[in-house]
Chains A and B, each alone.
Chain A
Amino acid sequence: MDYIYQVRLTTHISSAIGSLTHALLQNARCYSVSHLSVQERIEQKRKAALTGGGQLRIAAQHKRGKLTARERLELLLDPDSFVEYDMFVEHRCSDFGMEADHNKYPGDSVVTGQGRINGRLVYVFSQDFTVFGGSLSGAHAQKICKIMDQAMMVGAPVIGLNDSGGARIQEGVESLAGYADIFLRNVMASGVVPQISLIMGPCAGGAVYSPALTDFTFMVKDTSYLFITGPDVVKSVTNEDVTQEELGGAKTHTTVSGVAHRAFENDIDALLNLRNFFNFLPLSNKDPAPVTECHDPRDRLVPGLDTIVPFESTKAYDMLDIVHGIVDEREFFEIMPNYAKNIVVGFARMNGRTVGIVGNQPKVASGCLDINSSVKGARFVRFCDAFNIPIITFVDVPGFLPGTAQEYGGIIRHGAKLLYAFAEATVPKITVITRKAYGGAYDVMSSKHLRGDVNYAWPSAEVAVMGAKGAVQIIFRGKENQAEAEAEYVEKFANPFPAAVRGFVDDIIQPSTTRKRICRDLEVLASKKQTNPWKKHANIPL
């Protein structure tokens, strides 16, 4: 602390002396003296920038169980790969004493630049909570905008590490303008380069909309919060007692609201996982899905899949068992694992190539589609489509969830999102019907009719308008011998043939061969070219 204080003090004095000297000797053009002092000032500014808000605040940050902005970048990026921008930028506020030198920090409250993750280029910003609580000044926003603009031009993803108390209140509208500048760039970059937000501290008020606009929002458990208004305001406005954690903690957003896509134990865990996640993504929409070295044989048979679907069609099984069995090395990066668990989405690799996996989860709510699962699935499918990631869909869906809660909530328009997303997607689409594909949900789940490239059925597949019991009650309303009719319906429809004879599935495959088939198809479909009609933009039912 003493050291820092001294540094700041010296900076102070030397800068004062520096400007004096500069003014006095401007006409004398005494190059040697001014050169020396500039060199010194550079060093001192750099030193100051590296310690952010000072050792005291760093200690406080550590005490909260959080790392500093720079420590986080060091962990996130490959060693020695970080190239910093705007280390000398300072805020420009002159109100409320902010113009005082001790209120100026080189670099202000954010660290920006570019670096490498496993050798691949990425643009990053990391908000520094030790400087004015990481609050967003005009300069702070400008720094973020600069790297975002460059990321767009170069075609590389942007990762934001958020740890900010909110707007720099002293700056007023300039801070708000800064937010809007970032929001605009988030929107412009959407679908051009992947954008990832990792919330590592508070993120409140208008600030939340930047993460909300990015492709993925991850959180750190217990130390990060996302909310429009904090517990105090909530209490005064609605008289509702709620803690920060309940209102906007990682658990809330990964299980209830669906705002965050995943939560990690702590800063280190989060950053290491983010490095791993980054490897799944292409750098931009101009790049194909990345292919990494793979040790898992592409033609590996998965014998366990032949027995995974239970014979009782009412019995559940875990769709994740199928996913883990089929993908490379059983590695599946699940997105939103604790939200709308009746659908499973996430990234995996097939023969080294990134794929997006969508699967109904029979273990939860029979794998039905409801509002939350439709929205979860739709957003994931659109991300994959935007970034050239092939989509593999595993279907076991009994239909859309009926009831007033769903109808009042707008299942019609929300369900339409998933339908829309699958229909508009032009990336390779491979679908495997493992068991039930009933009703409208059959159409929705990447069916042949929505331009599925390869659609398979397992021998256990049942493609029908509805289950036998319901169907018979309608067809033979009030008639006797319902059991017999039901048997006939099962015989006719509870198998893959009705769909196969019409070409709605391309083949009926032995489950154990699924990996082999998909790997082969992906090779072929790698050169798939498909475009949608020109339009300014489509109108997805939001």
Chain B
Amino acid sequence: MAAYRSAAGFQRVLHAVKHVCFSKQRCGVIICRYSTVYDPTEKTFDKILIANRGEIACRVIKTCKKMGIKTVAVHSDVDSSAVHVKMADEAVCVGPAPTNKSYLNMDAIMNAIKQTGAQAVHPGYGFLSENKQFAKRLAAEGVSFIGPDTHAIQAMGDKIESKLIAKAAKVNTIPGFDGVVKDAEEAVKIAGEIGYPVMIKASAGGGGKGMRIAWNDEETREGFRFSSQEAASSFGDDRLLIEKFIDNPRHIEIQVLADKHGNALWLNERECSIQRRNQKVVEEAPSTFLDPDTRRAMGEQAVSLAKAVKYSSAGTVEFLVDSKKNFYFLEMNTRLQVEHPITECITGLDLVQQMIRIAMGYKLQHKQSDIPINGWAIESRVYAEDPYKSFGLPSIGRLSQYQEPLDLRNVRVDSGIEEGSDISIYYDPMISKLVTYGKTREEALKKMEEALDNYVIRGVTHNIPLLREIIVHPRFVSGDISTKFLPEVYPDGFKGHMLTAGERRELLATAAALYVAAQLRSQKFLGDLRVSVVPAESRQWELCVELDKGVHMLGVSRSGNNYTVEIDGEKVEVSGEWNLASALLPLTINGKHRTLQCLLRTAAGEITLQYLGTSFKLRVLSKLAASLSKHMPEKVPEDTSSILRSPMPGSVVAVSVKPGDNVAEGQEICVIEAMKMQNSMTAAKAAKVSSLTHIHKLIHNPPRYSVHHKSI
């Protein structure tokens, strides 16, 4: 019955889809500075299946459409109305929501290929993109895999083997142990030999998953345990290796493109040093750090590695670069990278198109000398996560309002979601990749500020506050970055934008002007009125605005759409359209153009404004209401010291205590897994475990998982 229902449901989607007209926003991708030079006489595939979801599936479909190739989307049941499904010509449901039952379900995907007659498969990134079994099965069925051949995937996918090959190909490598580590104790022993700090990572890994840094023996043991668990759950392979951890390095990678005829090119570098928990947040191309010689040396080593493994397709060779511009091979990603758009922006190539051509067996169209660096491109990864917790813990929810800043020039947004989409616990919490481009780095950064300010995301917590801070931080602007940028710049965690006195005045003035504009509008009644409306005539307002426990008395005067706000003797001029329905609030504040967003405006005077990326809670009251506020009772917040709240929704993968145990402060209670990251939940105070009845397998939003424990 259930199966039938979902099938019937799917029919409904297809039916509905016919009536949906795809606007630019829907597709989510605006081509910025790369061209799909499509030669209609060049024979290509008739139909490609994209074994992925989200933005990368949309990205691939986009190029396929331009090349006149029919597309097949695969999807899990919860994704049946996802954007990539709507964009594709055909769609096949490959299973339920969990990835190992759908997007990693090779049998179902093989069936989908047979069912639709797709001639080739583009795997995107993640999922099956670097899975040699999958590539083998495709080869066995005579279906082209748009990526390198099995040999290269296997060789480069295994970190131990790849290091050996790299060494042989005269690529600089990091000192370390070239073998699989058996257990935690062996890990400690090897770590002692190499010298701390060391990096423990999954042999099959990638994307920062199953990766831990250890500075001492204890951390090595713990890291070994976590990494092997994560590796097992993410890649189904818990083999680990250990190498010297290069402290404070930059992460710079070279994009390569190789065909099946032994030709290979390097498409310059991408600077990906801004990371949190080994996952990239902001990337740019080119890097401010590389000089032409280093760039060429890295490019040539990358190409020589590609040739050594007979690589074909697009690939990325990642390097760690220390402060003296020594670079060490880290790994090779045998797939299209998340951050490929910035390379497309500066080189003008369509990497997906190139991958498809290479898979068809064509020779590369370009020579190394044809590869330019045109301008500068920055990519911000917009995530559904709370940047105030460890620089980003996943959040989930429904995008109640969603508007990409696509009306700005030189902005590209790669996304696979739209207004109404659900960000669920099952998949990566990335909302989109926001790419801006400019002739210079400065221009690209300015554009990024504007794009972030004009990006409307409601319904889920997002990391725009962090992104907006990073791109204006003096260290980032000057190019002084490393992979430790975030912990160094925000040693006590990210706290949002710190307002200067002038910015504070701007914010207060905007809130006051918005309040008055709303008040004035609420007196405007239309139509014939039996009893006339007598609005309070006023051109002057005395208001009290609260911000971060600071209270300010403001004088506001208005002429048309222009407001003059007086704060502590200083005047701030605010003018704008004051469209109270719009998510964006484009204003001119003291002659400067600023786009703010009003996130909340209540009858009781609460106003939440997103200003310079960060949201600020304000309260605007009339002078009278403010003076009476002192009589209002203080509400005592709920005591939550004995409640352990999951910082995000996810599933409980391990419970480390049992009823009757005495737990010390800081002791692990359980492990929550969300978006493939494991998080240890620790006790906030010493207590005795009375029962564990409240643990549910899945935790949904709002996080309501709680372990009650009594104090000893």
Give chain A's interface residues, CB within 8 Å of chain B: 62, 65-67, 71, 74-75, 78-81, 116, 118-121, 154-156, 222-223, 264-269, 272-273, 275-277, 279, 283-284, 286-288, 290-297, 302-308, 311-313, 318, 321, 324-325, 328-330, 352, 459-460, 469, 483, 486-487, 490-491, 494, 510
Contact = CB atoms under 8 A, between A and B. Distances in A.
Contact of A324 (B400, B524, B535): B400
A75 B529 CA distance: 25
Interface stretch (B274-282, B575-583, B682-690): B575-583
A295 B582 contact: yes
Contacts of A272: 603-605, 625
B555 to A, nearest CB: 16
A210 B397 CA distance: 43
Contacts of B538: 79
Interface stretch (B7-15, B153-161, B290-298, B380-388): B7-15
B43 interface: no
Given A266-B633, A328-B581, A460-B12, A305 B420 contact: yes
B531 interface: yes
Contacts of B483: none
B137 to A, nearest CB: 30
A279 B4 CA distance: 49
A329 to B, nearest CB: 5
18 contacts: A81-B534, A116-B536, A154-B531, A223-B633, A265-B635, A266-B632, A269-B604, A272-B605, A287-B531, A290-B525, A297-B581, A306-B16, A306-B20, A311-B80, A487-B1, A487-B4, A510-B16, A510-B20
Given A296-B581, A329-B581, A268 B1 contact: no
A323 B626 CA distance: 33
Nearest to B421: A307
B694 interface: no
A275 B604 CA distance: 9
Q: Which 4 A-B pairs have the closest CB atoms?
A: A304-B420, A311-B9, A276-B603, A65-B633
Contacts of B530: 155, 283-284, 286-287
B592 interface: no
Interface in B408-425: 418-421
A330 B10 CA distance: 30
A155 B15 CA distance: 52
A485 to B, nearest CB: 11
Interface of B: 1-2, 4-6, 8-10, 12-13, 15-16, 19-20, 26, 77, 80-81, 398-402, 418-421, 521-527, 529-531, 533-536, 538, 579-582, 603-605, 621, 624-625, 628-629, 631-633, 635
Given A266-B633, A311-B10, A311-B13, A304 B628 contact: no
Given A321-B398, A329-B581, A120 B632 contact: no
B97 to A, nearest CB: 11
Given A119-B523, A459-B15, A490-B4, A304 B400 contact: yes
Contacts of A303: 26, 418-420
B256 to A, nearest CB: 39
B632 A268 contact: yes
A222 B633 contact: yes
Contacts of B421: 304, 307
B58 to A, nearest CB: 15
A279 B604 contact: no
B628 A67 contact: yes
Nearest to A510: B19
Contacts of A155: 530-531
A303 B20 CA distance: 10
Contacts of A267: 628, 631-632
Contacts, number: 164
Contact of B81 (A81, A287, A307, A321): A307
A352 B525 CA distance: 9
A45 to B, nearest CB: 25
A45 B576 CA distance: 50
A65 B632 contact: yes
Given A293-B521, A312-B6, A486-B1, A75 B625 contact: yes
Given A81-B536, A352-B526, A494-B8, A121 B531 contact: yes
B533 to A, nearest CB: 4
A312 B418 CA distance: 21
A267 B621 CA distance: 14
Nearest to A325: B400
Nearest to A61: B631
Contacts of B605: 272
Given A307-B421, A324-B400, A75 B604 contact: no
A306 B16 CA distance: 8
B628 A295 contact: no
Given A62-B631, A306-B420, A312 B398 contact: no
Most buried by A among B8, B20, B534, B632: B632
Given A268-B604, A296-B581, A510-B19, A288 B527 contact: yes
Contacts of A307: 81, 420-421
B572 to A, nearest CB: 24
A276 B601 CA distance: 12
A460 B11 CA distance: 11
A491 B12 CA distance: 11
Contacts of A118: 522-523, 533, 535
Contacts of A277: 603
Contact of B536 (A79, A284, A329, A486): A79
Contacts of A80: 536
A50 to B, nearest CB: 15
A372 B341 CA distance: 56
A306 B15 CA distance: 12
Nearest to A486: B1
Most buried by B among A78, A80, A302, A469: A78
Given A78-B536, A116-B536, A293 B632 contact: no
B631 A469 contact: no
Contacts of A297: 581
Contacts of B582: 295
A324 B459 CA distance: 12
B26 A279 contact: no
B351 to A, nearest CB: 29
Contacts of A264: 604
B604 A490 contact: no
A318 B400 CA distance: 11
Nearest to B626: A268
A291 B536 contact: no
Contacts of B534: 81, 116, 119
A371 B582 CA distance: 40
Nearest to B577: A295
A307 B531 CA distance: 44
Nearest to A275: B603
B523 A312 contact: no
A279 B580 contact: no
Contacts of A290: 525, 527
A171 to B, nearest CB: 31
Nearest to B17: A306
B13 A293 contact: no
A66 B525 contact: no
Contacts of A75: 624-625, 628
Nearest to B530: A287
A295 B581 contact: yes
A400 B106 CA distance: 45
Contacts of B6: 311-312
Given A292-B526, A307-B420, 9 more contacts: A65-B632, A75-B624, A79-B536, A81-B534, A119-B536, A222-B633, A268-B621, A297-B581, A304-B401
A294 B523 contact: no
B400 A321 contact: yes
A45 B627 CA distance: 26
A469 B4 CA distance: 13
A311 B12 contact: yes
B411 to A, nearest CB: 20
A239 to B, nearest CB: 31
A202 to B, nearest CB: 16
